[in-house]
């Protein structure tokens, strides 16, 4: 059995450990030999270890100090020796250790020193004799004896180490695992390897070597330094492989982020399957690896000075994953590739690699993922057609000038060519990749030709945003039944086919298309079967900054019945045409920064959110639809005081019973005059960490203000100062009504925030006869005034605002 010592990062993070290791042992057996050597070896390696140097007299109870030491130890190591079971003290220790293992998640590791684990497990031989004595001695407490038996059996079943015969100490050690949380730091002495001639497994995560590693035993099968030196680059392992290092049985070699400089000794490692050299910044060349034909995983990412990878790497038949990402100086990477088992090839960020190796015919059918994004690759070889199993191709940010015929890659699901600023042309075959689901060409600023026809039936998302030289959209072949997202924003596209061709379209981003002809959206469909366009879908249409005027939307579009979100910001409307009311399912309308907009005669009845920020010419506020929940009028400087007063009066009077929830921001410098209760004197917050030093307004309102009247609804308001954002939170009866949030509107002047709240939705939160409202503002963003007004319900169920003072209304 392999010897293991494992401080594990899987421990619970809740306990506060005092010791790394607690040693449980029988003093008369091992105190002066094995346990003493083990203790000093642990201490020498920086592992904080508890050992009790006292001998406990026969019959004495285990001390509270010892129990506490077990509780506060990360790991318990139990040294089972010939006479361990004869000690009641040892057995009580063992029971407590196993209880801590269950309750605290502590690690427990047994060492069987000159005893057979079977004797411990079944209590035979010396352990059987000891329990015969215990049974006689404690015949009146046989439950205790049974607890000891159960503990021995449980401990013997744990993974541990067996030391028999004449081999002890470092020569016997076959496995070492050091796996620590990142917060712990211990140092390992590399000279310890000199005597570990039988070491097969060494795993070290987060512990640091105190010097250069000049020796590694040839018996190694698994050498794993993990990512231990990412935490602190000053502790990078200096690994100097000696000339006599020939680990013929090595299976895994992980020295990521170490100081290794060369791999000359890795010529004939037939059993090697895993090699991780990621982050080895001094490594310049990967040598001939043909002598290691069984490698399945080869990780070389972030080897910043790696220049060359030997051609043999291109023909490792068992290789499944090859990662060379961010090897920024790599210029030579195999001339040909014939990796029969390869599934993933990652060359992302290899900025000096200008070409992709030629693909061997019929030898790369297993490759499913190819990542060459942000590399210096200028063209894809025609032999890419031999990658018949390819499903994912990331080539974003490359120097590609064209995309070749991909008809030989029918299984591609994702094709990312975004930000290929030199890309001019995409082959027509891309438009007919039947399994293609996501096609990304956004940011290809020189693209002029993208497939003349489009018939990819599985296409779900198409990104053409930022393709400023692309003027025409492909002709549609048949129905695009899967396409739900289309992005053409800031492209040069002038005309789209009818949206009716896209039978499942839910979102169309066309902002910044200054030359788009909106009437093309309503173009007649050429064949009857496309008329199955679903009216149950919800479509979001973004036409921000498309240079549109009233005449462009006088004719209803064939998608209007499905529109729920419409962005017409930064366009040239003076008056929004009445036909906008025909968008019967519209819920959100953006008209921000329409500098010429003066009025909106009518709005759709189902509208819930209306954003008119920075409409500086707006003179008239439209009649608010009954469902409106949000109205933003930031920087609408053209609104007169009378128009604002009209808005406030509408809320006070006839419109108030049409809505139960509404938030508005509009120009102004005071809480509405009809508010009964206002305050200009906040208190300073000291009790809340998030708001310490901020200001707070607190109002308390009786729920039954007058005979026959009940508080039904509240109006809340505060004044926002001119700045980019404010940090505000509002609580009603302790429940957050307005979460702590920033208002990011770039306000040029003071604005008023106003909200209507239906307290019927808060009924379950009501406590007693008081409704409490608290406004909180972050330190540095003080508010000058806040106000609360209330709506009452009479016995006849009529609604009205109370404008009279009430002495029961309290303001803090």
Q: What are the boundaries of each domain within the chain?
A: 19-172, 668-811
451: left (phi over 0), alpha (psi -120 to 50) or beta: left
Which pLDDT does position 592 carry in this prediction?
96
Which helix (DSSP H) or strand (DSSP E) does residue 70 occupy? Answer: helix 64-71
Q: How far is CA 146 from CA 91, 123, 126, 153, in A?
A: 11, 11, 17, 11
Q: Under a CB-based contact definition with an 8 Å cutoff, are residues 719 and 752 in contact?
A: yes
Fold for 668-811, please state it. Answer: Jelly Rolls (2.60.120)
Laid out side by side, the sheet with 19-24 consists of 49-50, 19-24, 73-80, 107-113, 161-163
Q: How many CA atoms lie within 13 A of 663 on its CB side?
A: 11
Distance (Å, rounded) from C-alpha 94 to C-alpha 90? 6
Beta strands in 225-323 (DSSP E): 252-254, 274-276, 285-286, 297-299, 308-309, 321-323
What pLDDT does 286 receive? 93
654 Cβ contact partners less than 8 Å away, ≥ 6 residues apart: none
Positive or negative, the CA dihedral 68, 71, 74, 77 is positive
The C-alpha atoms of residue 8 and residue 184 are separated, in whole angstroms, by: 11
Number of neighbours of residue 268 by Cβ within 10 angstroms: 11
- For 727, list phi and psi in degrees, rounded to 5: -115, 110
Give the model's pLDDT for residue 367: 98
753: helix, coil or strand? strand
Contacting residues for 438 by C-beta, under 8 A, at least 6 apart = 413, 414, 415, 416, 459, 460, 461
* H or E stretch covering 438: strand 438-440
Question: Class of 19-172 per CATH?
Answer: alpha beta
CA 92 to chain CA centroid, Å, is 46
**Across 332-427, where does the E strand assignment appear?**
332-333, 336-337, 344-346, 358-359, 369-371, 392-394, 402-403, 414-416, 425-426
Let me know if 147 is exposed, middle or buried by CB neighbors in 10 A (0-12, 13-18, 19+).
middle
**Nearest by Cα to 171 from 398, 416, 3, 393:** 3
Per DSSP, the three-state class of 128 is helix
Integer Cα distance of 64 and 42 in angstroms? 25
pLDDT by 10-residue block (mean), the chain, 812 residues: 35 62 92 85 82 58 83 94 93 95 91 93 95 92 94 93 62 53 54 64 60 64 54 47 72 83 73 91 91 94 96 96 97 94 98 95 96 96 96 97 95 98 96 96 95 91 96 86 92 80 85 74 40 59 88 66 89 90 91 95 93 95 89 93 87 55 89 87 78 81 63 82 72 74 68 83 58 79 80 48 40 42
Residue 102's CB is within 10 A of a number of other CB atoms, namely 10
The beta-strand segments (E) located in 269-357 are 274-276, 285-286, 297-299, 308-309, 321-323, 332-333, 336-337, 344-346
Helix (H/G/I), strand (E/B), else coil: 645: helix
- In eight-state DSSP terms, residue 617 is T
Could you give the CA distance from residue 288 to residue 286 in angstroms, rounded to a whole number?
7
Q: How far apart are CA 17 and CA 73, in angstroms?
A: 6
Dist. CA 111–CA 117, nearest whole Å: 9
Kindly give the pairing relationship between strand 799-801 and strand 786-793: antiparallel
> What is the predicted pLDDT for the residue at 548?
87
As a whole number of angstroms, the distance between CA 454 and CA 451 comes to: 7
Q: What are the two backbone dihedrals, phi and then psi, of residue 482, each rounded to the nearest 5 degrees?
A: -105, -20
Spatial contact of 485 and 462, defined as CB atoms under 8 Å apart: yes
C-alpha–C-alpha distance, residues 717 and 536, integer Å: 38
The answer to whether residues 610 and 603 touch, using CB atoms and an 8 Å cutoff, is yes
Q: In angstroms, how far is the first alpha carbon of the chain from the final one?
A: 73
Cβ 298 vs Cβ 344: under 8 Å: no
Q: Which runs of E-coded beta strand occur in 124-207? A: 161-163, 175-179, 187-188, 201-205
**Torsions phi, psi of 186, nearest 5?**
-135, 160
Cβ neighbours, 10 Å, residue 791: 20
Integer Cα distance of 23 and 600 in angstroms: 82
Q: Contact 187/216 with Cβ under 8 angstroms?
A: no
What is the reported pLDDT for 239?
A: 60
Spatial distance between the Cα atoms of 556 and 370, rounded to a whole number of angstroms? 45
> What angle do helix axes 126-137 and 142-156 make, rounded to 10 degrees?
160
A 10 A CB-CB count for 315 gives: 18
């Amino acid at each position: 059995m392999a010897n293991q010592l494992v401080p594990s990062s899987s421990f619970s993070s809740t306990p506060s450990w005092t010791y790394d290791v607690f040693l449980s042992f029988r003093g008369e057996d091992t105190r002066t030999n094995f346990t003493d050597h083990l203790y000093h070896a642990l201490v020498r390696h920086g592992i904080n270890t508890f050992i009790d140097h006292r001998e406990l007299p026969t019959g004495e109870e285990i001390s509270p100090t010892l129990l506490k030491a077990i509780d506060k130890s990360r790991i318990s190591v139990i040294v089972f020796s010939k006479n361990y079971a004869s000690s009641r003290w040892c057995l009580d220790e063992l029971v407590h250790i196993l209880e801590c293992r269950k309750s605290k998640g502590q690690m427990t590791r047994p060492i069987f020193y000159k005893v057979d684990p079977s004797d411990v497990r079944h209590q035979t031989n010396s352990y059987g004799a000891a329990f015969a004595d215990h049974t006689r001695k404690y015949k009146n407490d046989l439950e205790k004896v049974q607890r000891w038996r159960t503990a021995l059996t449980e401990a013997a079943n744990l993974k541990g180490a067996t030391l028999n015969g004449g081999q002890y100490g470092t020569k016997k050690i076959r496995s070492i695992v050091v796996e620590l949380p990142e917060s712990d730091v211990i140092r390992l002495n590399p000279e310890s390897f000199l005597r570990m001639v039988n070491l097969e497994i060494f795993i070290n995560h987060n512990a640091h070597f105190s010097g250069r590693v000049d020796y590694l035993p040839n018996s190694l099968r698994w050498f794993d330094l993990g990512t231990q030196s990412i935490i602190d680059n000053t502790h990078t392992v200096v690994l100097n492989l000696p000339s006599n290092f020939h680990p013929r049985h090595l299976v895994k070699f992980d020295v990521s982020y170490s100081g290794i400089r060369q791999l000359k000794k890795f010529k004939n490692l037939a059993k090697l399957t895993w090699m991780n050299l990621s982050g080895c910044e001094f490594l310049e060349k990967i040598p001939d690896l043909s002598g290691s034909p069984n490698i399945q995983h080869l990780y070389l990412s972030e080897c910043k000075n790696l220049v060359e990878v030997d051609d043999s790497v291109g023909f490792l038949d068992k290789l499944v994953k090859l990662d060379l990402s961010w090897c920024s100086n790599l210029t030579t990477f195999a001339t040909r590739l014939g990796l029969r088992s390869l599934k993933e090839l990652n060359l992302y960020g290899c900025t000096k690699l200008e070409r992709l190796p030629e693909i061997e015919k019929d030898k790369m059918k297993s490759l499913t993922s190819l990542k060459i994004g942000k590399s210096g690759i200028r063209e894809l070889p025609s032999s890419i057609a031999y990658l018949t199993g390819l499903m994912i191709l990331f080539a974003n940010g490359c120097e590609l000038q064209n995309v070749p015929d991909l008809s030989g890659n029918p299984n591609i699901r994702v094709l990312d060519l975004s930000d290929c600023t030199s890309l001019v042309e995409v082959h027509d075959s891309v438009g007919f990749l039947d399994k293609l689901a996501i096609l990304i060409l956004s940011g290809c600023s020189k693209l002029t030709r993208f497939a003349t026809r489009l018939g990819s039936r599985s296409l779900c998302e198409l990104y053409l945003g930022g393709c400023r030289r692309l003027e025409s959209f492909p002709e549609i072949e048949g129905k695009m039944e899967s396409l739900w997202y289309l992005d053409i924003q800031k492209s040069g596209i002038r005309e789209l086919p009818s949206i009716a061709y896209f039978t499942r379209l839910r979102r169309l981003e066309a902002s910044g298309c200054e030359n788009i002809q909106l009437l093309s959206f309503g173009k007649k469909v050429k064949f009857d079967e496309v008329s199955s366009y679903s009216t149950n879908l919800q479509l979001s249409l973004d036409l921000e900054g498309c240079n549109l005027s009233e005449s462009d939307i006088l004719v209803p579009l064939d998608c209007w019945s499905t529109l729920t979100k419409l962005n017409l910001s930064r366009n040239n409307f003076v008056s929004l045409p009445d036909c906008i009311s025909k968008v019967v399912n519209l819920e959100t309308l953006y008209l921000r920064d329409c500098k010429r907009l003066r009025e909106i005669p009518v709005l759709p009845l189902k509208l819930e959110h209306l954003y008119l920020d920075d409409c500086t010419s707006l003179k008239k506020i439209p009649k608010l639809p009954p469902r409106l929940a949000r109205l933003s009028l930031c920087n609408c400087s053209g609104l007169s005081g009378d128009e604002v007063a009209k808005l406030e009066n509408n809320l006070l009077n006839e419109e108030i019973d049409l809505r139960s929830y509404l938030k508005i921001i509009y120009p102004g410098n005071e809480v509405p005059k009809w508010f009964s209760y206002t305050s200009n004197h906040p208190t300073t917050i000291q009790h809340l960490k998030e708001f310490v030093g901020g200001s707070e307004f607190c109002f308390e309102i009786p729920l039954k203000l007058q005979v026959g009247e009940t508080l039904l609804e509240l109006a809340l308001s505060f004044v926002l100062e001119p700045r980019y954002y404010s940090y505000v939170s509002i609580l009603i009866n302790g429940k957050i009504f307005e979460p702590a949030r920033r208002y990011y509107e770039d306000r040029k002047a003071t604005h008023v925030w106003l909200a209507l709240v239906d307290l019927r939705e808060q009924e379950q939160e009501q406590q007693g006869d008081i409704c409490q409202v608290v406004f909180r503002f972050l330190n540095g963003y003080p508010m000058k005034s806040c106000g609360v007004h209330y709506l009452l319900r009479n016995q006849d169920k009529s609604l009205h605002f109370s404008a009279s003072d009430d002495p029961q209304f309290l303001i803090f």
